[in-house]
Amino acid sequence: MWRTRWTVPEGRYGDVPHPPVLLVFNRIGERNPNRTVPRLMELTRHLWQGERLPGGHHLYDRKIPIIATGLNQLRQHGPAGPVFVRFGRSGPQTLLEAIGTPRREAADIREQEEAKARAAQYQAQVRRAAQEHDAKKAAEAAQQAAQREARRPACAHCGTRFTDERWEAAEKTHWGDPVDTHPQLCDGCKHGAVAVASTVPAPGRQEEHQEPLPEWAHQEFMRFPHRPRCTECKAAFTDERWQAVNRTGWGPVPMESRPTLCGDCDRKEREGIKRSFDEQGWTAGPRHQGQAPPEQKAGGTWLSRFSR
């Protein structure tokens, strides 16, 4: 019946406490409660004695709290006074203290406070470790920035340090990116050098222009990606001559036979060869009927005469 009337939540340690039993003694006759209570306490020890835990309190799993008092104490102090004695405890207590576990509640409070202290200490360690990590990352970032600034190139003309954009443009090495014409100059000095180079002619009979490559250079395979100079007169090639010598011969236009000569030197070379043929009486066309082949001298071929 008491299980239908008594409800208590499960204890923190998995214990299931039972409802307490209150014994009220009325001293009438020869029986003395002062001798009866200790005797009853010994006989019922297996019912109310709890298990002692390291915190100093007891665990009352499936135990019955037994409390004893007398009518004389109730009349003198009232039901709210310290007149209740729980079996296994020394000294009278109030009713709520007697049926409760104050030492266990105090131990729980201490354990919660210790847990909070440990959590606060752990959080402090985490924050300190995070601060040390951030400080280390900041020091590494500052060191890397200092090393990068030490590697930052300076303009060879004015000494100004390159900007990040200029530094990246001067060091481009990807396929398809245009090669920087003045990688050792800053933007201002580069623009000035390009402007001066576009107005001052190069020595020789032809001018060298610092211009971007023409459209045909991006459509054909280029034999000379940079503007060449004549091996004979050292003059820079014109755009037309540069385009002509860059032909690879894959199309209908034949390949240039002397790609290292400029237009004037190539024309002079062709005229000299033609004049030599005319002096010998040969023609570059079909051989006339009755014309004997050129006489070959001993010790060489008929082409060896042009090497003299």
**Domain for residue 114, yes or no?**
yes
Query: Are 189 and 268 members of one domain?
Result: no
**Apex 195 CA angle, 190 and 199, nearest 5:** 145
Where do runs of H (alpha helix) occur along the chain?
2-5, 33-43, 45-48, 71-77, 95-99, 102-151, 164-170, 187-199, 215-219, 239-245, 263-280
CA distance linking residue 240 with residue 223, whole number of Å:
14
The alpha carbon dihedral of 223, 229, 231, 233 has a sign of positive
Query: Are 7 and 59 members of one domain?
Result: yes
Query: Are 50 and 7 members of one domain?
Result: yes
**Domain for residue 137, yes or no?**
yes
Query: Are 40 and 124 members of one domain?
Result: no
> Coil, strand, or helix at residue 156?
coil
Query: Are 185 and 248 members of one domain?
Result: no
Query: Token pair for residue 251?
Result: 């199309």
Query: Are 88 and 171 members of one domain?
Result: no
Residue 39: CA count within 13 A, CB half-sphere:
6
Among 133, 165, 200, give the residue marking a domain's end.
Answer: 200
- Over residues 136-149, the pLDDT tens digits come to 999 999 999 999 88
**Domain for residue 292, yes or no?**
no
For residue 137, what pLDDT is reported?
A: 94
Query: Are 112 and 181 members of one domain?
Result: no
CA distance linking residue 26 with residue 77, whole number of Å:
15
161 Cβ contact partners less than 8 Å away, ≥ 6 residues apart: 152, 153, 154, 155
**Domain for residue 235, yes or no?**
yes
Question: 98 near 85, Cβ under 8 Å?
Answer: yes
167 Cβ contact partners less than 8 Å away, ≥ 6 residues apart: 152, 153
Res 50 pLDDT > 60: yes
Query: Are 237 and 269 members of one domain?
Result: yes
Residues 12-34, mean pLDDT to the nearest whole number: 81
Query: Are 165 and 111 members of one domain?
Result: no
**Domain for residue 120, yes or no?**
yes
- Over residues 199-251, the pLDDT tens digits come to 655 554 444 444 555 554 454 445 566 778 888 888 888 888 877 777 655 55
CA distance linking residue 245 with residue 97, whole number of Å:
111
Write down how long the chain is: 308
Among 200, 235, 262, give the residue marking a domain's end.
Answer: 200
Residue-range definition of the domain harbouring residue 43: 2-100
**Domain for residue 297, yes or no?**
no
Phi/psi at 191 (5° precision): -60, -40
**Domain for residue 12, yes or no?**
yes
Query: Are 235 and 195 members of one domain?
Result: no
- Over residues 77-108, the pLDDT tens digits come to 999 999 999 998 888 999 988 988 888 888 88
Q: What percent of the chain has pLDDT over 70?
A: 74
Query: Token pair for residue 308?
Result: 């003299």
Query: Are 17 and 91 members of one domain?
Result: yes
Spell 42-71 as b/e; 16+ CB within 10 A means b. eeeeeebebeeeeeebbbbeebebbbbbbe
Phi/psi at 144 (5° precision): -65, -40
Query: Token pair for residue 27?
Result: 């001293």
- Over residues 293-306, the pLDDT tens digits come to 555 444 444 444 44
End-to-end CA distance of the chain: 138
Residue 104 burial (10 A CB sphere; 0-12, 13-18, 19+)? buried
Query: Are 17 and 90 members of one domain?
Result: yes
Dihedral over alpha carbons 158, 159, 163, 168 (to 10 degrees)? 100
Residues 12-18, mean pLDDT to the nearest whole number: 73
CA distance linking residue 156 with residue 162, whole number of Å:
10
Q: Calculate the average pLDDT of the chain.
A: 77
Question: 245 near 237, Cβ under 8 Å?
Answer: yes
Indicate the number of domains in the chain: 4
For residue 305, what pLDDT is reported?
A: 47
Token pair 């005469």: residue: 305
CA distance linking residue 22 with residue 13, whole number of Å:
25
Question: pTM for this one?
Answer: 0.40
**Domain for residue 302, yes or no?**
no
